[in-house]
Structure 1
Amino acid sequence: HANTVEFAGEDLAKVITESANGVSKVTVKVNKEDIAKAVNAENAKKGSAPTTYVDKDGNPLVKDGDKYYKPNPDGTPNTTAGPVDPAGVRLGEKDKPMQLTNVAPATETINKANDPTNGLADLAKAKDGTVATVADLKNLGFVIKGKAAD
């Protein structure tokens, strides 16, 4: 049996020992912000974050504060190279596209009884910048205006 027990923290764990009134207390602390940074850095290094901001060439970027940077080899932001404007967001890994599911439709359905547009997607009320879903596309159509005699 050992007479001495040593506690040591590694990587993101910080160990604090305190003794008072014959009682020893050992506390292990892990900072959630440090964990988030480490996870984000590892994902950026691998290019495998669920969603990743990318530059114009599709390379991953890392956010630091309110700016984006190319990552260092360890996944941390390369702030010395200067900020980069994101050109888009990539879903999944660079060479393994994913299908985005569980997305709400961007349009409402036209509800005008006895009108040829009834049941179609109301594109006039759709917000610019939203993406059409398969449900939206199923409700697309066109109406030819005129009378049978025209």
Structure 2
Amino acid sequence: MKRGLKRFLPFMIVLGGLIVLFLFYVFVGQEYLYAKKNANRLLELELPRKSEVIEQDFDYGVIYGGGPWGNGGYPTLVAYKRIRTELSEKEIFEYYNTDNFEIYFDGSVELKKNNKGQIWYEGLMKDEDALSTEKNDKKPMEVMIQYRTEFSYPFFIDFY
């Protein structure tokens, strides 16, 4: 009897460890990995010429940035990149006007924060016809590019 227990016990320890790792992935890791993958659509996008990144980050969560009516229980992702550029507003708009990016120019954006400290930006986006074609060689302007979306992932289980 003791001989069978000696063989069975290591098997159970390994199996228990694998189950714990799987549960850790399901409840912690997968949501971050899917959020990071979606955020990289903006964060890994090559910068236009004559531009530099000042700040960039992403965050995600359920009932985050979804407005007063929430987001239906789906995780919301917000990725943002603040850049300084010498290019014109029109050039920046044409470069980032893909993948539903929000583009905010100097003074037209406001930082929002929820009770968990998660941030996103809201403001007025200029109409395409009102964009300046004037270069900013002497005084570079700051531009905020933001990407907001809902996403899902396998084993969509969340305890928030």
TM-score (norm: length of structure 2): 0.23
Bigger Rg, structure 1 or 2: 1
TM-score (norm: length of structure 1): 0.23
- Flag the structure with higher helix content: 2
Structure possessing the higher relative contact order (Cα contacts under 8 Å, 6 or more residues apart): 2
- Flag the structure with higher strand content: 2
